[in-house]
Amino acid sequence: MTKDPHDNGIDWELYRSYLNVIKEGSLSGAARAMGIAQPTVGRHIEALEKSLGVVLFTRSQLGLLPTEAALELQSFVQAMGSSAAALRRAAESHGAGIRGTVRVTASEVIGVEVLPPIVAELQRAHPDLKVELVLTNRVQDLLKREADIAVRMTQPKQELLIARRVGVVKLGLHAHTRYLQTRGTPTSLTDLAQHALIGFDEETPFVRAATKAFPVWNRDAFAVRTDSDLAQLALIRAGSGIGICQVALAARNPDLVHLLPGSTPLALETWLTMHEDLRNSPRCKVAFDALLVGLQAYMAA
C-alpha cells in the first residue's frame, strides 16, 4: 500500500524514547529503562525532531535538558501512552474466564495498608487476573485511561465515570504508648503545644481545608514535617510524636492510642470510580466489586 503523502504519522516507539529521555535525563538512562541500545534511542530522538520540525533536547553538564517545545508536548504524549497501555489491557483480557490486567490507583496509605489483602483475595478467586497497583496521592485521570479503577478521597465530578461512595474514613490524633510514657498524655487541645507533633511540610488543598477546620494543626507547630502519609504513619508507630492517621488503621495496633477522640473534625469521604466504558469489562467488574466489598469491610471495622 502506498503511504498517503499527507499522513504525518509517527512511530510510537519514537515517542516512548522521548518520554524516557525526559524521565531519565539522558540517552543512556532512557536506553537502560527501555532495554534497548543507546544509539537506537539517539536515532529515535533525531527522527522525532525531524518529523515534528522542532528541537526537543539540548545538551548540558547535567545531561539532556528538554526544550520548551518538548515540555509542551509532554502531556499529550503521556496521554497517548496511557491510551496505548489501556488498549493493551483491553486486548489481552479477551478469552475464556476472567483474565488480563486491571490497573488500580489509590493513595499511598490505602494502597500499602488496606488494599493488599483485598488484591490477594481477588487473585485467589481469579488466578489469571493481573493487577497493576499505582500508589500516588496525585489524582490519576480515568478519562485519559491512566488507570482503570481509582480509590479516591474526594467525590469525582466527571460525568463519564461510574462512582460508588464507599464510606467515610475517620481520622484522629494518635501516639505510640512509648512516646506517651515519656512525654505524658495530652488531655486537651491546648496541651498539644507541649508535645512533638508530626505533620505536613507543603500545603495542599486538603491540608488548607484541614487547617481551617483544625487550627491547632499548622506547620509551625510540627516537630517533624513530611508530606508522605506513609512516613507520618511510620513516625507515629516509631514513637516519634503525635500525628493524625486513620482511626481504623491505628486500631490494628494495640500500642497506638487514640488521643482526644472527637476533637479532630477531619474525615475522608471515600469513593470507588471507574470509566463507564469499562462497565461491561469482566476483569474490571470483578475488581471493582472486590475493592468495594473489601473497602466497606475495612471502614466498618
Q: What integer pLDDT is reported at residue 298 of this predicted model? A: 92
**CA dihedral of 231, 232, 233, 237, whole degrees rounded to 10:** 100
Averaged pLDDT of the chain: 85
Domain 12-87: assigned CATH number: 1.10.10.10
pLDDT band at 232 (very low <50, low <70, confident <90, very high): very high
Q: What is the pLDDT of residues 50-102, one digit of tens each?
A: 888 889 988 877 778 889 888 888 888 877 777 666 667 666 656 656 888 89
Q: What is the pLDDT of residues 4-42, one digit of tens each?
A: 333 445 677 888 888 888 888 888 888 998 899 999 998
Q: How far is CA 300 from CA 106, 167, 230, 249, 297, in A?
A: 19, 9, 22, 12, 5
Q: What is the pLDDT of residues 170-215, one digit of tens each?
A: 999 999 999 999 999 999 999 999 999 999 998 777 777 777 778 8
Residue 104 predicted with pLDDT over 90: yes
CB atoms within 10 A of CB 232: 22
Q: Which CATH class is domain 96-301?
A: alpha beta
Q: How far is CA 4 from CA 9, 32, 165, in A?
A: 10, 35, 50
Residue ranges per structural domain of the chain: 12-87, 96-301
Q: What integer pLDDT is reported at residue 175 of this predicted model? A: 98
